[in-house]
């Protein structure tokens, strides 16, 4: 799984799942209308939940969608083979169990000198689409076919194409054999490999798949999003109004326990400033993790406490890593001493204390403390405690002497760096101006320039047009190989069509080798050793200035039970069926 | 008043008679006429006041010791009328600078501090920095105890750490008052600059169209009409969204730092010259056939002379009105674009982007949103009244004698 | 008459075509085309893929060729595909056009309803205290930044005194109570946006009505009518006001453009699902097809309204003929 570039405004994705694993036992399909179920098992409190979010969402075709808000919602209606829970553990959804080399359900084979993995995934017997059609291997194979089509623009294409082919057992259409292109240890991490209902989508694909954007335009998810059979999660979509709201109602064909809340509406309130007014006036009942900025959450938290409001403001540390990529093409930044001065002169502790009231943690490298791979052992990684004097000394050594105007000079040139980030993201703009002031005290002039996210990520970062510094975040899952951002083959350039996510132009041959080893290392202990070596290179070379790990914030009604924000890529809506407003003891 | 009194005197001296017979100069008529429009006078006063504030912003900064960029992140969102103490990083920087600027003074002070046992550190280099770590009142007390001239000079620096914020502080603990003043500077200069530039452009286009007539006129007026009828904001958003540095012609003019201001002025100028152009064209069309123009034509004056010497003085008055009204409009547009995040980029303060920053925390710190809005409202309404007053004053039809 | 309309229509179409090309060209200057987007989401893409995709999307062609293709598609009724929302543009635009149309027409109607009587009233008493106050408020209306007014409205009428919803287009998730209840529900959401959108127009209209009325009342025929002993109401409305209508219609037509500009801001502040907000979002998000189509619609709407205004002159003033 490669890291996801955040194109939206901000806010991390999150997922959640209860500590006890999901129930896979068959649940008797509830008969009749959802409303009768409601009357029978739930109190009226569970009638409806309106969730406010501030990020835009798109058409909910699981392959095409790429926005955080879309996948936040899609988790309520569509499930995958496996997913990651709030504790960072893998658990099964549509699959019966996770294949592994140990029990023989997966094995490494060699084809033409290349190591591959063949794994067997058994699908739940009662997993079906919401028109009653069983989910089979064919649905996964069809998704792969669509994703691989050159005319279809798939957000996470690599998630799909890492699987070479999918075959069903001749006797059992629910027993699938996946052949993976490479023998990677985390081959089972297929949390974004969504199946598509072949019986509904194949006719569309056959008819329009060859036109550019033909499938996207004509897919049932686009033309008729409330059609029965498109979804397999605890809920099904009953109304979509793009740019406004989506309505969800329980799916009686869901393989797991029936959800308690009888209707969920996710409402888009793009102006976060009015989010609170909407909450107070009852337009919405809660604010999801894609709702408030941290600043607003901090302010609202104080108010909740002061006025004793019936809400709880949650702050969940996430593994979303806010950082500044340094452009190593920049002649000033080519000097390691300057990079070290930049990181030593960066008071991250004060930053998180002052701007985030300590609710977000300062970062020391790309791995968050929530990641099992995390280490702050000075023997494993190089740490740069804040010291202005030390930073000044490093700059002096690099030849940048303090001038009379308060800025450092070398060979008649001012120490001036262009610092860019996404325009309109308040927190980033705040941090940017804060850092500008910090570096000014070190004698470094920071020139700020911001661009809308699409431009910033669509062109500026990839083509390294950001001058010296680019601030943004990586969203990923725990134990994720940093290869897509650290490996020298991921450096975007003219030749590879500017693809790849190593925006720093950081190239370290030793590190490349370590990362290649990491991918195919099946021993967890050895992996840990490798990742620490990689992180050591990362902290020694300083191609990136770590800033902080973001926290996910949400505001939930006090009576909402079993709500667990996850702090990673897979949102808390992963266990939406357990959410309970009624305080009933049925659970 | 004086005049009427004189009128009542039956015997008039030669001098007063001469005075009386002399026609009242135009500007005097205009001024008296203008003075009758009370709101316009109030508007003019407010504008002059704001301009004075804008021009003297550095002076105000020096007097009050407030810096629009000085952050104090541990004192964010302070309510109006509050005090704040500078953060430790700022204190350290000040001491560092003090040591750098006055090495002997600080050396003497360091030894004094250590010898009197007022600080715990033994290394002289750390002595002054230790003071910065203490609460400011305590540090001041220690410096008082030292009592030397050296201590007094550092004490002054320490006293400046405590600041008073009449309008409170913003999201980075910066003083809102001084930022509003600098915002006035930016917003006013954008407004005035745009109004003047667009008036000049309009003058040129209107004059050419009106003077030459025919196909030139038709073409220019079609363009003008098309631009007038455009929904301005979407067009401005498109233009604001492109990267100016991509246009080779502008690359030399634009540096990253002033890009957003430059872009703002350019965009606003592009779309605000049309009213002036129409106005000028109208006046010139009517002037074209007048005797004095015909006369100068027969005398062999060039087109340039005729337009600039003879026609412009006649259109200056209505143009002045249009410029005045234009300033208000430009300020509003600047604010609107900045509100959408497309205007002046932070950290440069303008009323528009201060509002943009404030709208998120409208419930926690409503002052932050209300103040810039009030400033905009006051300024724009003043310009509008001023324009109205000027119009009444220069419009011969409106002169009530 | 017909030839006049035809000529004006053709002129309007030409202007729209030119403007749409300019806009198209400007949009191509914005970085981040669809292929860029695909690349940034797919680290494994190869250089050959990039070339092939660029060809598929026609991005290797110069802008006027692409404009030609695009215009061809538009004329065929094929509005394209929204890159942000991943749906065909027509599905996105329809309901929003209706919403914006409702918002602007209600705002326009409301402004006229308020401002014309006020303007006439103050013109009849020039220099009086009432005139002074009305004048002041209309000046304030013109000068107030509408987004700020929106925010202040939310603070007052949605937070401090929760009379109206703070944003949105209609209540979601409620039971369908029938046509009138739904209408009532929607109008609740309209009040604050309409208020903040129309204040500026009201200010402008009051000032124009007042000065047009003053001008009109100065005419000789008014004196004649007075001398004839006609009732005051007839003089005011039938003679004076009818004459004042002509400049008013011009202003109304021109105000369509400013109402539309205002709608962008108002819709953004109140999260009202209309074309204005969509235009803004699509331009910022570089959602090419949506931006172009909504831009053209807004320009066309304004130009057509201008045309309508010109035709209305004929109704208001029998002296004007279009032969």
Kindly write down the DSSP assignment for every residue of B161-176, as one continuous string.
Answer: TEEEETT-B-TTS-BH
**Hey, of A6, A491, A496, A519, which one would you mutate to test binding to chain C, going by the most C CBs within 10 A of its CB?**
A496
Q: 3-class SS at A464?
A: coil
Report, as an integer, the average pLDDT of C24-44: 72
Using the structure block, give the residue that is written with the tokens 């910066």: B174
Q: In this complex, do A437 and B76 lie within 8 Å of one another by their Cβ atoms?
A: no
Kindly write down the DSSP assignment for every residue of A78-131, as one continuous string.
Answer: ---SEEE-TTS-EEESSBSS---TTTTSEEEEEETTEEEEEEEEEBPTT-B-TT
How close C143 gets to chain A, by Cα (Å)?
Answer: 24
Interface of C with A in 63-92 (CB under 8 A): 81, 84-88, 91-92
Which among B69, B74, B243 is the nearest to A354, CB-wise?
B74
**Hey, of A213, A279, A488, which one would you mutate to test binding to chain C, going by the most C CBs within 10 A of its CB?**
A213
pLDDT at position A493 is 87
Of A229, A232, A63, A59, whose CA–CA distance to A146 is shortest? A63
How close C134 gets to chain B, by Cα (Å)?
Answer: 13
pLDDT over 70 percentage in chain A: 91
Q: Is the pLDDT of residue C45 over 80?
A: no
Dihedral (Cα; B272, B276, B281, B284), 10-degree rounding: -160
Are B376 and B187 in contact by the 8 Å Cβ rule? The answer is yes
Q: In this complex, do C45 and A50 lie within 8 Å of one another by their Cβ atoms?
A: no
Of C118, C135, C317, C121, whose CA–CA distance to C236 is shortest? C121
Q: In this complex, do C166 and A213 lie within 8 Å of one another by their Cβ atoms?
A: no
pLDDT in tens, C206-249: 988 888 888 888 888 888 888 888 888 888 888 888 888 877 77
pLDDT in tens, C97-120: 888 888 988 999 999 999 999 999
Task: Say if residue A310 is exposed, middle or buried (CB neighbours under 10 Å; 0-12, 13-18, 19+).
Answer: exposed
Of A329, A337, A576, whose CA–CA distance to A465 is shortest? A329
- The residues pairing with A451 across neighbouring beta strands, listed in sequence order, are A422
Are A271 and C167 in contact by the 8 Å Cβ rule? The answer is yes
Q: Which residue has the higher pLDDT, C40 or C255?
A: C255
Using the structure block, give the residue that is written with the tokens 């287009």: C169
Interface of A with C in 269-308 (CB under 8 A): 269-271, 273-274, 276-278, 280-281, 283
Q: Which residues in chain A show pLDDT less than 70?
A: 1-44, 583-587
**Chains contacting B (3 or more CB pairs within 8 Å):** A, C
How close B156 gets to chain C, by Cα (Å)?
Answer: 42
CB atoms within 10 A of CB A180: 21
Residue C182 makes CB contacts below 8 A (sequence gap 6+) with C170, C176
Q: In this complex, do B243 and C30 lie within 8 Å of one another by their Cβ atoms?
A: yes
Any chain B CB within 8 A of the CB of A347? yes
Nearest-angstrom CA–CA distance, A570 and A567: 8
Tokens of C135: 């004048």
Nearest-angstrom CA–CA distance, B41 and A157: 67
Using the structure block, give the residue that is written with the tokens 């709030």: A86
Q: Which residues in chain B show pLDDT less than 50?
A: 1-7, 398-401
- DSSP letter at A470 equals E
Interface of C with A in 256-285 (CB under 8 A): 268-271, 273, 277-278, 281, 284-285
Any chain A CB within 8 A of the CB of C50? yes
Q: What is the SS3 string spanning A363-401?
A: CCCCCCCCCCCCCCCCCCCCCCCCCHHHHHHHHHHCCCE
pLDDT at position C226 is 84
Q: In this complex, do B345 and A448 lie within 8 Å of one another by their Cβ atoms?
A: yes
Which among B93, B256, B362 is the nearest to A441, CB-wise?
B93
Work out the angle between the directed axes of helices B312-339 and B274-288 (0-180°, nearest 10).
170
Any chain A CB within 8 A of the CB of B302? no
Q: In this complex, do B361 and A295 lie within 8 Å of one another by their Cβ atoms?
A: yes
pLDDT at position A354 is 87
pLDDT at position B396 is 57
Q: 3-class SS at C260?
A: helix
Q: Which residue has the higher pLDDT, B31 or C38?
A: B31
Chain C residue whose CA is closest to A423: C284
Are C168 and A283 in contact by the 8 Å Cβ rule? The answer is yes
Nearest-angstrom CA–CA distance, B278 and B275: 5
CB atoms within 10 A of CB A585: 6
How close C65 gets to chain A, by Cα (Å)?
Answer: 18
Are A519 and A291 in contact by the 8 Å Cβ rule? The answer is no
Which among C31, C50, C281 is the nearest to A455, CB-wise?
C31
Of A273, A268, A306, A266, whose CA–CA distance to A292 is shortest? A273
Tokens of B62: 């020096």
Residue B183 makes CB contacts below 8 A (sequence gap 6+) with B349, B350, B351, B354, B372, B375
Q: In this complex, do A217 and C81 lie within 8 Å of one another by their Cβ atoms?
A: yes
Q: 3-class SS at A450?
A: strand
- Whole-prediction pTM: 0.82
How close B20 gets to chain C, by Cα (Å)?
Answer: 31
Are B196 and B316 in contact by the 8 Å Cβ rule? The answer is no
Residues of chain A with C-beta less than 8 angstroms from the C-beta of C172: 50, 241, 244-245, 247, 265, 267
Chain B residues at the C interface, defined by Cβ less than 8 Å, are: 39, 226, 228-235, 237-239, 241-243, 246-247, 328, 332, 335-336, 339-340, 355, 359, 362-363, 366, 369-370, 372-373, 376-377, 380-381, 383-385, 388
Chain C residue whose CA is closest to B327: C143
Give start and end residues of each alpha helix (H) in A186-246: 198-208, 214-218, 220-223
Tokens of A579: 């959410």
pLDDT at position A338 is 96
Which among A66, A150, A455 is the nearest to C32, CB-wise?
A455
Report, as an integer, the average pLDDT of C161-165: 78
Nearest-angstrom CA–CA distance, A336 and A334: 6
**Chains contacting C (3 or more CB pairs within 8 Å):** A, B
Q: In this complex, do C279 and B384 lie within 8 Å of one another by their Cβ atoms?
A: no
B346: cis peptide before it, omega within 30°?
no
pLDDT in tens, C262-315: 888 888 888 888 888 888 888 877 788 888 888 888 788 777 877 777 777 766
Q: In this complex, do C254 and B229 lie within 8 Å of one another by their Cβ atoms?
A: yes
Residue B393 makes CB contacts below 8 A (sequence gap 6+) with B30, B31, B33, B34, B37
Which among A265, A278, A459 is the nearest to C36, CB-wise?
A459
The distance in angstroms from the start CA to the end CA of chain B is 13
How close C169 gets to chain A, by Cα (Å)?
Answer: 8
pLDDT at position B243 is 64
Tally the residues of chain B: 401
How close C268 gets to chain B, by Cα (Å)?
Answer: 9
Strand-pair category, A401-402 with A264-268:
unpaired
Task: Say if residue A274 is exposed, middle or buried (CB neighbours under 10 Å; 0-12, 13-18, 19+).
Answer: buried
pLDDT over 90 percentage in chain C: 7
Residues of chain A with C-beta less than 8 angstroms from the C-beta of C46: 496-497, 499
Chain C residue whose CA is closest to A54: C271
pLDDT at position C288 is 83
pLDDT in tens, C186-211: 888 888 899 989 998 899 889 888 88
Residues of chain A with C-beta less than 8 angstroms from the C-beta of B172: 430, 433-434, 437
Q: In this complex, do B373 and C152 lie within 8 Å of one another by their Cβ atoms?
A: yes
**Chains contacting A (3 or more CB pairs within 8 Å):** B, C
Residues of chain A with C-beta less than 8 angstroms from the C-beta of C49: 150, 497
């Amino acid at each position: 799984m490669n890291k996801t570039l955040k194109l939206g405004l901000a806010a991390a994705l999150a997922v959640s799942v209860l500590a006890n694993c999901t129930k896979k036992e068959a649940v008797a399909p509830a008969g009749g209308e959802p409303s009768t179920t409601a009357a029978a098992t739930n109190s009226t409190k569970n009638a409806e939940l309106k969730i406010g979010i501030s990020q835009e969402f798109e058409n909910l075709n699981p392959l095409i969608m790429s926005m955080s808000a879309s996948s936040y919602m899609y988790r309520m209606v569509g499930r995958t083979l496996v997913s990651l829970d709030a504790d960072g553990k893998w658990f099964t959804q549509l699959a019966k169990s996770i294949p592994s080399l140990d029990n023989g359900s997966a094995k490494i084979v060699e084809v033409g000198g290349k190591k591959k993995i063949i794994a067997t995934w058994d699908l739940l017997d009662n997993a079906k689409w919401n028109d009653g059609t069983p989910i089979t291997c064919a649905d996964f194979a069809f998704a792969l076919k669509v994703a691989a089509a050159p005319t279809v623009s798939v957000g996470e294409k690599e998630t799909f194409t890492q699987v070479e082919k999918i075959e069903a057992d001749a006797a059992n259409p629910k027993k699938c054999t996946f052949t993976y292109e490479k023998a990677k240890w985390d081959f089972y991490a297929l949390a974004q490999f969504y199946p598509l209902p072949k019986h509904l989508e194949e006719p569309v694909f056959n008819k329009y798949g060859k036109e550019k954007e033909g499938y996207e335009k004509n897919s049932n998810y686009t033309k008729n999003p409330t059609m029965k059979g498109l979804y397999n999660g605890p809920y099904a979509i009953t109304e979509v109004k793009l740019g406004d709201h989506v309505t969800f109602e329980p799916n009686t064909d869901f393989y797991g326990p029936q959800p308690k809340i009888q209707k969920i509406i996710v409402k888009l309130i793009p102006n976060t400033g009015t989010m609170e007014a909407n909450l107070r006036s009852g337009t919405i009942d809660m604010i999801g993790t894609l709702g408030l900025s941290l600043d607003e959450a901090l302010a609202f938290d104080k108010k909740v406490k002061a006025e004793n409001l019936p809400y709880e403001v949650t702050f969940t540390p996430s593994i979303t890593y806010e950082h500044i990529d340094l452009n190593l093409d920049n002649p000033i930044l080519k000097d390691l001493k300057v990079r070290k001065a930049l990181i030593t002169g960066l008071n991250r502790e004060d930053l998180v204390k002052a701007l985030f009231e300590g609710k977000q943690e300062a970062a020391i490298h790309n791995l968050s403390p929530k990641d099992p791979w995390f280490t702050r052992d000075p023997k494993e990684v190089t740490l740069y405690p804040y010291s202005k004097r030390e930073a000044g000394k490093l700059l002096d050594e690099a030849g940048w002497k303090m001038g009379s105007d308060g800025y450092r000079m070398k060979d008649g040139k001012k120490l001036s760096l262009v610092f860019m980030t996404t325009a309109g993201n308040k927190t980033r703009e705040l941090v940017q101006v804060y850092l500008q002031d910090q570096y000014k005290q070190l004698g470094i002039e920071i020139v700020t320039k911001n661009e809308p996210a699409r431009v910033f990520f669509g062109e500026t970062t990839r083509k390294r047009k950001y001058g010296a510094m680019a601030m943004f975040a990586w969203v990923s899952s725990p134990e994720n190989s940093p290869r897509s951002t650290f490996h020298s083959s991921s450096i975007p350039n003219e030749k590879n069509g500017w693809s790849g996510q190593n925006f720093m132009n950081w190239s370290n041959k030793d590190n490349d080798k370590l990362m290649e080893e990491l991918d195919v290392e099946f021993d967890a202990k050895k992996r840990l050793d490798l990742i620490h070596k990689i992180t050591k290179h990362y902290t020694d070379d300083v191609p990136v200035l770590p800033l902080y790990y973001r926290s996910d914030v949400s505001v939930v009604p006090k009576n909402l039970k079993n709500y667990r924000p996850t702090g990673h890529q897979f949102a808390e809506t992963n266990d939406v069926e357990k959410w309970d407003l009624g305080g009933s003891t049925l659970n | 008043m004086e005049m009427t009194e004189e009128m009542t005197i039956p015997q008039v001296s030669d001098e007063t008679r001469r005075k009386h017979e002399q026609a009242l100069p135009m500007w005097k008529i205009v001024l008296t006429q203008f003075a009758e429009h009370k709101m316009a006078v109030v508007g003019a006063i407010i504008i002059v006041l704001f301009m004075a504030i804008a021009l003297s912003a550095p002076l105000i900064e020096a007097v009050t010791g407030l810096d629009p960029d000085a952050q104090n992140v541990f004192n964010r969102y302070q309510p109006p009328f509050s005090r704040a103490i500078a953060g430790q990083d700022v204190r350290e920087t000040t001491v560092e600078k003090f040591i750098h600027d006055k090495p002997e003074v600080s050396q003497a002070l360091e030894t004094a501090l250590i010898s009197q046992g007022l600080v715990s550190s033994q290394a002289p280099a750390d002595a002054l920095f230790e003071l910065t770590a203490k609460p400011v009142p305590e540090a001041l007390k220690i410096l008082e105890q030292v009592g030397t001239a050296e201590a007094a000079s550092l004490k002054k620096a320490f006293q400046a750490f405590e600041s008073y914020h009449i309008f409170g502080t913003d999201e980075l603990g910066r003083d809102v008052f001084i930022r509003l003043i600098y915002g006035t500077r930016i917003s006013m200069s954008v407004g005035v600059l745009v109004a003047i530039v667009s008036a000049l452009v309009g003058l040129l286009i209107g004059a050419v169209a009106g003077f030459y007539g025919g196909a030139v006129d038709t073409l220019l007026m079609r363009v003008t009409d098309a631009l007038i009828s455009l929904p301005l904001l979407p067009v401005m958003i498109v233009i604001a969204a492109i990267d100016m540095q991509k246009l080779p012609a502008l690359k030399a003019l634009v540096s990253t730092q002033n890009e957003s201001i430059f872009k703002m002025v350019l965009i606003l100028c592009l779309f605000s010259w049309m009213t002036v152009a129409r106005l000028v064209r109208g006046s010139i069309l009517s002037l074209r056939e007048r005797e004095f123009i015909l006369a100068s034509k027969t005398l062999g004056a060039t087109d340039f002379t005729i337009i600039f010497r003879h026609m412009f003085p006649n259109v200056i008055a209505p143009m002045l009105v249009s410029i005045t009204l234009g300033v208000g409009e430009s300020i509003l547009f600047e604010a609107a674009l900045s509100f959408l995040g497309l205007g002046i980029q932070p950290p440069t303060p303008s009323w528009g982007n201060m509002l943009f920053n404030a709208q998120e925390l409208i419930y926690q710190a409503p002052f932050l949103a209300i103040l810039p809005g009030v400033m905009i409202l006051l300024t724009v309404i003043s310009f509008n009244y001023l324009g109205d007053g000027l119009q009444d004053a220069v419009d011969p039809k409106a002169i009530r004698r | 008459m017909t030839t006049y309309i035809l000529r004006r229509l053709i002129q309007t179409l030409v202007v729209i075509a030119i403007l749409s090309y300019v806009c198209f060209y400007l949009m191509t200057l914005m970085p981040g085309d669809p292929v860029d987007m695909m690349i940034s989401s797919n680290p494994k893409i190869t250089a050959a893929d990039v070339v092939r995709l660029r060809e598929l999307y026609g991005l290797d062609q110069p802008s006027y060729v692409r404009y030609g293709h695009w215009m061809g598609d538009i004329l065929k009724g094929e509005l394209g595909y929204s890159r942000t929302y991943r749906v065909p543009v027509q599905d996105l635009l329809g309901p929003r056009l209706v919403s914006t149309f409702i918002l602007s027409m209600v705002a326009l109607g409301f402004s006229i309803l308020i401002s014309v009587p006020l303007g006439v009233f103050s013109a009849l008493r020039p220099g009086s205290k009432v005139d002074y106050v009305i004048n002041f408020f209309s000046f304030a209306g013109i000068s107030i930044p509408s987004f700020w007014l929106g925010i202040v409205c939310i603070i007052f009428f949605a937070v401090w005194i929760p009379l109206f919803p703070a944003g949105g287009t209609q209540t979601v998730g409620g039971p369908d109570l029938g046509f009138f209840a739904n209408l009532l529900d929607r109008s609740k959401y309209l009040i604050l946006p309409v208020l903040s959108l129309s204040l500026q127009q009201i200010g402008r209209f009051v000032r124009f009505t007042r000065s047009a009325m003053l001008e009109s009342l100065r005419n000789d025929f008014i004196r004649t009518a007075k001398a004839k002993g006609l009732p005051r109401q007839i003089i005011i409305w039938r003679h004076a006001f009818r004459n004042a209508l002509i400049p008013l219609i011009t202003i109304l037509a021109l105000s369509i453009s400013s109402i539309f500009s205002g709608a962008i801001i108002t819709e953004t502040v109140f999260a009202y699902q209309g074309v204005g907000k969509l235009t803004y979002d699509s331009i910022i998000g570089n959602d090419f097809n949506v931006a172009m189509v909504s831009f053209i619609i807004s320009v066309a709407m304004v130009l057509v309204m201008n045309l309508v205004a010109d035709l209305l002159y004929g109704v208001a003033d029998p002296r004007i003929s279009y032969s």
